[in-house]
Amino acid sequence: MSPLDCPVWTALTSDHRALAVGGPLAIRYTPEVAPFAALAERTPTAFAALAALIPADGWVMLHTPDVPALPEGFVVHRQAPLLQMVLERPVVADGGEPLTLGEADVPEMMDLAGRTQPGPFGRRTIELGHYVGLRDEGRLAAMAGERMRCGGFVEISAVCVDPDHRGRGHAARLTAHLAQRIQAAGRTPFLHVLAENAPAIALYEKLGFRRRAGFVITALGKAAG
């Protein structure tokens, strides 16, 4: 099996172990970092272990190769097909070095992610890896960063552009920059994109990413009562 077959589990039991909570049957990122969780097996015992990791008013996201059959006690908030893409050929970034984003930028990063919805982004998500951005007249116009690390792979995520700054190549520039940085470190870039997001898929394919596999993302919480 490839680490990419179950990237959440692989990341949380290796590179991101320090950001994990849980045990041998169910594991998740610390809630302030990311909502992603994974199961060692789809058994009632493992799902019970997962339920123990979800606050009463919280939720997690499962990343699975198919639609999971959930036992009683869970409620699905959202479910969507996901495409995993990987970049196995060299990429050259243009446009100069973007800004490195840090802790002081987190409020703006959360605001931009909240308005553009590139995926979950919390106050500690920046701890997952290297984040870069572009500013226009002091305002954060675009950003992208690294998320899951599994084996020799590093995920590119949180690629988003303010609506007033779209159409200027910002997403391609930041994605290419991160991909080149990851490759320079001897690792392989990959990413996930909603299967319905044709423009983003076209952009990533233009950069050289290939479609590797399909997954299902399921956001779920505990049922009331």
Q: What is the pLDDT of residues 66-123, one digit of tens each?
A: 999 999 999 999 999 999 999 999 999 988 899 999 999 999 999 999 999 999 999 9
- The CATH number assigned to the domain with range 3-81+216-222 reads 3.40.630.30
Contact of 55 with 39, CB cutoff 8 Å? no
The residues that bridge with 210 in the sheet, in sequence order, are 86
pLDDT score of 1: 85
Could you read off the pLDDT of 192-221 as tens digits, one per residue? 999 999 999 999 999 999 999 999 999 999
pLDDT score of 112: 98
User: Does the structure show a pLDDT above 80 at 19?
Assistant: yes
> What mean pLDDT do residues 39-51 have?
97
Instruction: Give the closest residue to 118 by CA, choosing from 167, 64, 163, 88.
Output: 163
pLDDT score of 225: 67
> What mean pLDDT do residues 22-47 have?
97
Contact of 157 with 144, CB cutoff 8 Å? yes
pLDDT score of 224: 84
**For the chain, counts of helices (H) and of strands (E):** 5, 11
Q: Model's pTM, two decimal places? A: 0.96
Rounded distance between C-alpha atoms, residue 144 and residue 149, angstroms: 15
Chain-centre distance for alpha carbon 98:
20
What fold, for 85-213?
A: Aminopeptidase (3.40.630)
Least confident of 23-27, 56-60, 98-102, 210-214: 56-60
Domain ranges of the chain: 3-81+216-222, 85-213
Could you read off the pLDDT of 178-188 as tens digits, one per residue? 999 999 999 99
pLDDT score of 39: 98
Q: What percent of the chain has pLDDT over 70?
A: 100
Query: How does DSSP assign 34-61, residue by residue?
Result: --EEEESS-SHHHHHHHHTTS-TT--EE
